[in-house]
Each structure stands twice: as structure tokens, then as C-alpha cells.
Amino acid sequence: MTGVKSGRQGVQMRATDQDKAVQRISTQLIEEVGADAVIIVFSKTRRNSTTTHLHTWGNMLACRGLAEEAYAHLCEGGAEVDDDA
């Protein structure tokens, strides 16, 4: 089912559909939550190869601040990481 848009994990999505999904998520955060900056980061693993995808929206200084806060929270003892995820 390569290239078929699906909500199921493991089914590959076309790059344009992936971009549209990220845009929908960003738009929802901006409109419904009132976010003034958004960072979406996700990884995909295919055949022992992992790629990381980073999408930002908003003022780059605000996005940088979000990234620094996320790093501090996850990597500098601010949160416990769930190894089962």
C-alpha cells in the first residue's frame, strides 16, 4: 500500500500528504490553542534507516526558544523519558 494516505502506523504516506498533515496540525494549534510558534519533530524508520523531520512555524527566535526549552525538559533532567514509547 505504498503511497496510500492512511491513519494507520506503518503505512507510507506521500510526501505531499505528509506535508498537508503537518500543516493541518500546525493550523489547529495556531487557531484553537493560540500558539504563536510551533515546532513539530518526528522520526520515521524504514528498513533500519531512521529519518528525522522538523517543521517550524512562527518567529524563528520563538521557535529556537521552544527547541531550547524542549531540550532542557527532555535531556537535562526536566522530564522522565518513557523507554517503552
Q: What is the pLDDT of residues 35-79, one digit of tens each?
A: 999 999 999 888 899 999 999 999 999 999 999 999 999 998 765
pLDDT tens-place string over residues 12-27: 778 888 899 999 999 9
pLDDT at 54: 93
State the cell numbers at 64.
529556537
Please tell me which residue, 12 or 84, carries the higher pLDDT value: 12
The DSSP output letter for 70 is H
pLDDT at 13: 77
pLDDT at 84: 54
Q: DSSP of 5-56, one letter per residue? A: --SSTT----HHHHHHHHHHHHHHIIIII--SEEEEEEEEEETTEEEEEEEE
